[in-house]
């Protein structure tokens, strides 16, 4: 598969990014390189390899969850532009 201008424009549209006309050639080269790497991966023999459900094959040491905070409500609200009764005041967004 080869990437061309129309594919780059479609990918940019789907990704909701704006690309400049002078950057299209570089993006075509980069995307074609990525496709080449994927094609190289397809050549790897994985016939006797079991699929992994996770990259962690060993159990993780879990720490005890001790929730704590070094911040008081007053300290947190000090950064807000407006607060009332211990809560942030924000503009109404639903009528």
How much is the pLDDT for 62? 85
- Residue at 69 is within a domain: no
- Residue at 14 is within a domain: yes
- Residue at 73 is within a domain: no
Reported as a single tens digit per residue, the pLDDT across 81-93 is 999 999 999 988 8
Reported as a single tens digit per residue, the pLDDT across 37-72 is 999 999 999 998 888 777 776 777 888 988 888 899
What CATH number does the domain containing 14 carry? 1.10.20
- Residue at 22 is within a domain: yes
How much is the pLDDT for 57? 67
> 84 Cβ partners below 8 Å, 6+ apart?
none
Reported as a single tens digit per residue, the pLDDT across 2-15 is 888 899 999 899 99
- Structural domain tally of the chain? 1
- Residue at 17 is within a domain: yes
- Rounded to whole angstroms, how far apart are CA atoms 92 and 60? 44
87, β-bridge pairs: 84
- Residue at 47 is within a domain: no
Q: Which residue has the higher pLDDT, 95 or 91?
A: 91
């Amino acid at each position: 598969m080869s990437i061309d201008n129309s594919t780059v424009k479609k990918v940019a549209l789907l990704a909701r990014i704006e690309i400049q006309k002078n950057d299209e050639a570089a993006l075509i080269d980069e995307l074609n390189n990525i496709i080449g790497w994927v094609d190289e991966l397809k050549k790897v023999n994985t016939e006797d390899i079991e699929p992994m459900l996770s990259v962690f094959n060993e159990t993780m040491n879990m720490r005890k969850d001790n929730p704590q905070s070094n911040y008081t409500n007053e300290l947190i609200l000090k950064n807000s532009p407006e607060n009332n009764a211990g809560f942030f005041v924000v503009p109404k967004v639903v009528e």
